[in-house]
Amino acid sequence: MRTVIVNIPEKKEHYFLTLMKKNRFKSRVLTDEELEDAELARWIDEGMKTEDIPIERVFELLKKNGTDS
């Protein structure tokens, strides 16, 4: 199974959700918070791969921004 993320204008959301349901595709609308979390995770992953910024610095920045629980 593959996952495809599609940005749909709000006016067309109902049409596309109906189309997916008719074709028996699973669909789910992501919240803005879920999209932001996914983007933040992607940035962290990229940063960890490059090793340009120490992990301690990432956690320090997250703490300052109130993202750390």
What are the DSSP calls for 8-61, one per residue?
--GGGHHHHHHHHHHTT----PPPHHHHHHHHHHHHHHHHHHH-SS-HHHHHHH
Mean local confidence (pLDDT), 17-21: 93
Show me where the domains of the chain are located: 29-69
Question: Greater confidence, 21 or 35?
Answer: 21
Mean pLDDT of the chain: 82
Mean local confidence (pLDDT), 5-30: 91
Is residue 18 scored above 70 in pLDDT? yes
